[in-house]
Amino acid sequence: MKKICVVGHANNISINEKNKEWAKVISKFIVDNNYQLTTGGCIGIPELVANYVIEMGGNVLAYSPGTSPNEHITEFGFAENKNIKMRYLKETDSGKNAKFLIRSVDLVEDADLILCFKGTWGTLSELVFAVMCSKKILFLNIEKDNETLKEIYYLMKKINLYEWNEQFIEINSLEELNKELNKFKKEN
């Protein structure tokens, strides 16, 4: 089963009507094509998309930075969503921030396509890992609200450590999103 990974702001402040609209389109595509949604197991944009996929009868796998359901809730402050299958880290002596990074590497490595909503440090790290893993990235710049991450991406590109090709595709409209999702479907 192909996996589409959604990364983005792990805070509910970024959820607005436009993001909900895009999340529904993405969720419908995932469910209609029998793909699996993967997320970082957190609130905000990832949980928004996950809930839509679940409501539509789809399959979600969330990668927690915690080593157990208890740690997922108590140490990281993420709610338990009984409708979402969780993947927890193996026991580790790593600190909280390192656990986020370890989780993010696994999340991105396992994906066939990355969809990047607006985010901050965690989303940036997932974007970096996606580049390092040569993953195709649909960079959702809804209402030009993701300009900072885009600038950082282009600074990384200037370093030119990886083969870039058509790996990073900026998406500014639902029409562009549908076009790229259908292109992914045909290629896979």
Q: What is the pLDDT of residues 116-145, one digit of tens each?
A: 998 888 888 898 889 888 899 999 988 887
pLDDT band at 4 (very low <50, low <70, confident <90, very high): very high
Beta bridge partner(s), residue 171: 140
Q: What pLDDT does residue 83 have?
A: 80
Beta bridge partner(s), residue 115: 6, 138
Dist. CA 188–CA 186, nearest whole Å = 6
Q: Where are the domains of the chain?
A: 3-187
Q: What is the pLDDT of residues 71-86, one digit of tens each?
A: 998 888 887 777 889 9
Selected residue with higher pLDDT from 150 and 49:
49
Q: Tokens at residue 11, please?
A: 């805070």
Hey, which CATH number is domain 3-187, 3.40.50.2020, 3.90.320.10, 3.40.50.450, 1.20.1270.360? 3.40.50.450
Dihedral angle, C-alpha 104, 153, 119, 47, nearest 10 °: -50
Within 8 A by CB and 6+ apart from 31, the residues are 53, 56, 57, 58
Dist. CA 72–CA 88, nearest whole Å = 8
Distances, alpha carbon 48 to alpha carbons 8, 27, 107, 169, in Å: 10, 10, 17, 22
